[in-house]
Amino acid sequence: MIITNDEEALRVKCLDVSPDEVGELIALLESELDNSNRLGRVGIGLAAPQIGIAKNIAIVRLLKNGIYDLEVNLINAKIEKGYDQIIFRDEGCLSFPGRVENTMRYQEVYLSNNLIYPHKFIATGLMAVVCQHELDHLNGILLSDRALTKISTKKVGPNEQCPCNSGKKYKRCCGG
């Protein structure tokens, strides 16, 4: 069962996963994600701490026409580099139903997925955001920690400073 609204239980630092644990943990995460989706709490990623397991593993499953179109397993993964920060609007989390926040995320991330041998890959767009979100869970970082609370609601001109506080003009940053 997915842990909801319990910050203390979700703020755990995870231990690395051994090769013999992977299959069972992936199956458990997929089962919980499928169950959540059947119950109408649709999600596309789930990390082990969200089901009470302090292990460095998460899954991302993007659906297309009712079937998984793209599947990524994050096992002992780390973000090596991130590029092109944006304000990602209305990010949600299965552990905090009904809550959405605007967050600062990279549009492109270079990840290392280390288990048996080093494996690196690039995630872009929504996949990059979800990977960052799930890896945050593995480090005890919650959606509320990433929430941008000072985003201006007034219209920002293209030559004004970006409200994300990057120091760039809006047209060269989040408005680009």
Q: Give the residue from 154, 153, 152, 132 showing the smallest Cα distance to 143.
A: 132
Beta partners for 121? Answer: 111
Catalytic residue among 32, 91, 101, 134: 134
Return d(Cα 126, Cα 129) in angstroms, integer. 5
- The rounded distance, in Å, linking the Cα atoms of 30 and 110 is 24
As a whole number of angstroms, the distance between CA 52 and CA 119 comes to: 27
Of the candidates 71, 57, 61, the one whose C-alpha atom is nearest the C-alpha of residue 114 is: 57
HSE at residue 16, side-chain half, CA atoms within 13 A, is 9
The residue written with tokens 């007034």 in the block is: 154
Active site residue 21: no
Give the separation between CA 43 and CA 76, rounded to whole angstroms.
21
Q: How many other CB atoms are found less than 10 A from the CB of residue 100? A: 13
Active site residues: 134
